[in-house]
Each structure stands twice: as structure tokens, then as C-alpha cells.
Structure 1
Amino acid sequence: MRFLIIIPAHNEENNLSFTLDSLQRQSFKDFKTVIVNDGSTDNTAEVIRKYTDLDVRFETVDLQKSLHQPGSKVVYAFKKGLETQDVDAFDVICKFDSDVIFPENYLEKIGATFKKHPDYGLVGGLLYIEKNGDWVYEGNSNKHHVRGPVKAYRKESFMQMNGIRETLGWDNIDAILLQNLGWKEVVIPELHVRLIKVKGADYTIKPAEYYGKYFYFLGLNRFLAYVASCKEAVKSRSISFFFKIIGSYENCRNRKLELKISENEREIINRQRWEMLKRKWLKM
């Protein structure tokens, strides 16, 4: 299987080389990497050049800095990189971050897993962060969800869902749409990917405004958005947190901000969330 890897990068001079070095060390060699330099003002371009000058598997695309809403910026850069490639020449399409270190068998294991399981549409490893000198599981999501920095899509599944959406919540929308199309999302727990930019536990803390926007752009109806807001408020042990989240959500609704999903896709997402709610909370 041949891999196409797209890596958006903005001001990553201190991290990017670790990511690209880990790709060069891969036991599986048949891949192409496109680093999208998204308007960096530091030495990111110079770091990229060290790889593109010496290794034909590495290319770069230079963009002016993206001025898109949070959550969509990285997808915009990803799409710009994808547009430069002949997708038909590849079997696996990867969206990787520019601040991760992959184990040497990452691509080999991903490829073997896709070959063995033709119904797998999205595969990835687990993220680990440095804490008190040790690398520990990030814990920012359940262990069955492939996180945004390490996405590997089977090309057929990627094309069937019409790619990833340029919006906040894209890295959950993709999994829901793939599931609806009959594809499976699978995490390989023994593949430990190091997230090098983040240290400590504060990484998982998000402001209330973020959650309100997230639930809106995910396409959740008011009932499901309020339930999700309640869950986050319980986790933060703050009633005011709940009201701040729904305030942000309602603000987005009142402004009628554009959704990057179709009405049919929105129905799919709400149906999946409702089924999950019934299983987890209502025991139905």
C-alpha cells in the first residue's frame, strides 16, 4: 500500500524536524509527504528545505497564513496540500500533525491492518504526552477514537465521505460519517505516538466558548447540545460552565453561522449521538 501524508505546519521550527525524522526512520518506505507551510513567520521553511532537498519523498506547499475560524484552519491547509497530488496513485491518505513522533513501525502496522481488514476505513495509534519526565497516555478522548494528529484513511473511505470538513469538530464528523457508510474506525493501542508540544494535563482544558462553538458546528440539535453541555459542566464541577457553553451555542444559532455539513449529514450526526446517549446514559 502506498501512503500519501499531508502535514499542515505553522511556526513549527522547534517541532517539525522530530516528526519528519520519525517518518524517515519508518520501516515502511513507500510513502510521499507533503508539508504545507501555512504562512509561517519563523524558520519552518528552512526546516522543511533540509528534507525536500535531500529526500524525494518530501515536498512542500507554501501558503499565505490561513484566516479561517478555529478548527478549520488545519483542514484548509490539509486540503491545499491534497490538491497538489494525484490521489489515485495512493492507497492510504494521512493527515498528520507537525509536532508528533511516530514509532518506526507506524506506517508498516497501519498498512498491514488495512490489508487484513477490508472494512477498516480509519486507523491510527494512541497519543502520549510528556508528564513529569514520563510519556503517559494523553487521555483526551476514548481509546477507540483516532485523534486528529494521527489520522490514516483508506483512500476509498476518504473519497466516499467526500473528504474531511473544514470546520470545528471535523475529527469527530469524519468518524461518524464513515460509520454511517459502513466503515470501521480502529485504534491500534500498541502504536504509541508522542505529542511533543504539550506537557502536563492542562492540554485537555477548553474554555466554555469553545464547547458551545464545537457543539454548534458539529451540527447538534438544541437538545443534544444541552445534554453535551451538561456533561462538560459536570466534569468541570461548575454550573456556570454549563450556562456559558449554551450561551456560546445559542450565540452561534442566533447568528446562523454556516455549517460545513449537509442537512443529511447533520441528521446522521444527531442520530448517532442520540443512539450513543441511549446506550451510555439511558441504558436503552
Structure 2
Amino acid sequence: MKFLIIIPAHNEQDHLAFTLDSLQRQSCKDFKVVVVNDGSTDATSEIIKKYTDQDSRFETVNLEKSLHQPGSKVIHAFKNGLQTQNIENFEIICKFDADIILDENYLQEIDNAFLHHPKYGLVGGLLYIEKNGKWIYEGNSNKHHVRGPVKAYRKECFIAIGGLRETLGWDNIDAVLLKNLGWEEVVLPELQVKLIKIKGADYTVKSSDYYGRYFYFLGLNRFLAYVAASKEAAKSRSVLFFFSIIQSYEHCRSKQLELKISDAEQKIINNERWNTLKKKWLKM
């Protein structure tokens, strides 16, 4: 199966070469990489050129710097890269980050998973970070969710869900929609991906404003948003955190900010959240 790998990159001079080197070392050679240089002001473009000059499988797209909006910025760059390719020439569509290192058999194992399991729609490994000289599991509580830096979609699944959405929560929206359509999201725990840059907002405690906007753009109704807010507040042991999240969520509602999902998709997401709530918390 042939891979199309899109890598959004903004000021990644310290990390990108590690990612591209790991791709060149892959035992699976049937892929194309499109690095989207999203308005970098460092040496990112020069690093990309080293690979595009020597390897025809590597291409680049140069953008003016897009607005910094969590979620939407990276997918805006991804879509610009995707538009330069005819996806009919590929079987697997990947959105990778510019700061990961893949084992040499990573793509081959993803390929094998898709070949042997026709219902697999989204596949990826687990993220590991360096701590005290050792690579340890990044620590996300859900080991069954393919994280944003390592998304690999079967083309038919990618098309069926309407691609990726330029919004906060895009990497959870995709999982809900594909499951609703009968596809499976699968994490292969034996595939360990090294994450060499820790993004502060992604891997530490997030702000109440982030959670409020996240729950809104995910399409959660008021009841489910409040339940989700209470869960995050409980983690922080802060009643004030709960009210701050709700304030952010309600602000988005009052402004009627545009959602990147349809009414039908919003209903699917809420139903999935409600079913999960009943299963985990209400034991129904």
C-alpha cells in the first residue's frame, strides 16, 4: 500500500531532520512525503531542501504563516499539502508531526495492519518522551486513541469522514465519526514513536479557556459540556476551574462561533459521549 505523508512544520529546525531521517530509513519505501512549511522564520526551509534535492519522494509546500489557532492551524497546513496531491494514487493518508522519530519498520507495520484488517480505518503507535535519559510512555490515559502526531488513515475511511476539520478537537472528531461509520481506530502498542519536542499546552495541564473552547468546538451540548467540565475540575480539585471552563464554553455559545461539523455529526458526537458516560459513570 502506498503512503501519502503530510507533515505541517513551523520553525522546526531543531527537530525536522530527525523525522525526515527516520522516514528515509523506513523498510517500507513506497511513500511520498509533503512537508508544509507554514511560514517558518528559522532554517526549516533549508532543512527541507536538503531532502527534496536528493530524494524525489520528498516535496514541499510553502505557506505564509497561518493564524495561530489551536487545532485549526495545523490542519490548515495539512490541507494545503493534501491539495497538491491526487489521493487516488495512495492507499494510506498520514498526518505526522515534524518532531517524531519512527522505528525503521513503522510504516511496514502500519501497512500490515491495514492489509490484514479491512475494517481498520485509523492506525498508529504510542508516543514516548525522553526523561532522565530514558524513553518513557508519554502518559495519555487513553491507550486506544491514535494521537494527533501519528495519524494514519485508510484512504476510504479518510474520505468517508470528510477529511480532517480545521478546529480544536479535530483529533477526537475523526475518531467518533469513523467509528459511527463502522471503521475501527486501532493503536499498536508495540510501535513506539519518540516525541522529541514536548508541546507545553498539549502535554501539561491546560487552561480553563482551552477546555471551554474545546468542548464547544467538539460540538458538546450544554449538559455534556458541564459534565466534562466537572471531570476536569475534579482532576484539578478546583471548583473555580469548573466555573472558568463553563464561562469559556458559554462565551463561545453566546457568540455562536462557527462549528466545523454538521448538525448530524454533532448529534453523532453527543450520542457517543452520552453512551460513554452511561458506560463508565452510570454503569448502564
Moved over 2 A (4+): 199-204
RMSD: 1.3
- Per-residue CA deviations over 1:131-183 (Å, capped at 9, x if unaligned) read 12211111124000000000000000000111011100000000000000000
State the distance in 2 between where 1:82 and 1:174 align: 17
Q: 1:185/1:55 Cα in 2 relative to 1: closer, same or farther (>3 Å)? A: same
Mapping 1:205-224, distance limit 5 Å: 205-224=205-224
Aligned to 1:239: 239
In the TM superposition, 1:1-284 aligns within 5 A as 1-67=1-67, 69-198=69-198, 203-284=203-284
Distance 2:277 2:91 in 1: 35
Contact 1:140 1:204 in 2 (8 A): no
Using a 3 Å threshold, how does the CA distance of structure 1 residues 11 and 234 change in structure 2: closer, same or farther?
Answer: same
- AA at the equivalent of 2:225: A
Unmatched segments (≥5 aa) in structure 2: none
Residue type at the aligned position of 2:210: Y
Between Structure 1 and Structure 2, how many residues are aligned?
A: 284
Corresponding residue SS for 1:197: coil
Shift of 1:202: 8.7
Q: Is contact 1:130–1:199 with CA below 8 Å preserved after alignment?
A: no
CA distance in 2, matches of 1:206, 1:100: 22
Normalising by the residue count of structure 1, what TM-score does the alignment of the two structures yield? 0.98
1:202 to 1:249, Cα distance in 2 relative to 1, 3 A: closer
Find the aligned partners of 1:202 and 1:72 in 2 and give their Cα distance: 14
Runs of at least 5 residues in structure 1 that lack an aligned partner in the other structure:
none
1:17-72 superposed Cα distances (whole Å, 9 cap, x missing partner): 00000000111000000000000011100000010000011000000001253210
3-state secondary structure, aligned to 1:18: helix
Give yes or no for contact 1:32–1:57 (8 Å, CA) kept in 2: yes
**SS of alignment partner, residue 173 of structure 1:** helix
Give, in whole Å, the separation in 2 of the partners of 1:199 and 1:256: 29
Percent of aligned pairs with the same residue? 73
Secondary structure of the residue aligned to 2:197 is strand
